[in-house]
Amino acid sequence: MTLQMEQVFVRDLPAEKIYQTVIHKLKNGDKLTEKELMQLIILPLAEQGADNKQKRIEQVIELAGQIENEQEQKLVFSGLLVITDKFISKENAKSIRRKLTMTKVFQMIVDEVEEKNRQKEKE
């Protein structure tokens, strides 16, 4: 992976379009480009207001968990932690750190248990 510096104004990013593109590609099993990975990392910065930033962080955490390439997944999680350091909630930061340290199998088990718990809460 090579990184290329490019000047960009974050507020001008089409945040929702980027988000939807990543969702579509991950659902179809397509590989994300380097540019899309970087856009995913900085996506929360494109949002106005603390609540919107936190919501977008949560969305990016969920999407990053769906990236099959473990190295790319760790890149997004690590980058997200660094770029959102000033405003990320403690809960979201803990979630990212936990995901960074878990193996894929353990992560799948934890995700399955969490999903079952959410379903029970809805009932």
Residue 93 burial class via C-beta count within 10 angstroms: exposed 0-12, middle 13-18, buried 19 and up: middle
Q: How confident is the model at residue 8 (pLDDT cuts 50, 70, 90)?
A: low
Cβ atoms 58, 39 nearer than 8 A: no
Model pTM greater than 0.75?
A: no
CA 121 to chain centre: 25
Amino acid in the structure at residue 7: Q
Q: pLDDT tens digits for 10-67?
A: 777 899 999 999 999 999 999 999 999 999 999 998 988 889 989 999 999 999 999 9
Under 8 Å between Cβ of 42 and 82: no
